[in-house]
A and B are shown apart, each in its own frame.
Chain A
């Protein structure tokens, strides 16, 4: 079965330090991977995606993610965290059993990032 795991419920980091939010996936075939961010009582905002090509993907707000096929991981990273980065982060993978224009996503449970001043 297709699945996404975010092993950490919460990540704490000091402002200015690098941050990593972990994501591993299990999907048949080539994975299409996404990261979204959610601020309190708001919808999800798209950060970045991996479809093919370079394993290091750059996205919005200085975030990047590294695709590692052998480890089936897609960790989100940022070189220097800001307090304003504090939010809930979701990793998602496209469900390959869907086709025809749909993009059914399988979401992880989310990781709460807390950046302390």
Chain B
């Protein structure tokens, strides 16, 4: 089975711009979660989508948004970029059903805001 894929892998943007990141989950996985990783902060939960609906949301400003398509692929969007948005953005997918399952992570998108 192919793993979680994320595109692009690297991105450089300027303050004030917006950016869209894409994530394709493992085939059959319907839950997609997004995390932001910054040095010293670990992984911070952004949001989770399941069957095209946002189920959970972390403590990030409204500039961070996402969506999920019928094929479970997901995108996240950051508008009006700030320098502090520079981070590694990770997407993870989970098998269907509730339970003691791990999340499978993609390689991440490294976003640099200048």
Q: Are A and B associated in one complex?
A: no
Chain B residues engaging chain A, CB cutoff 8 angstroms: none
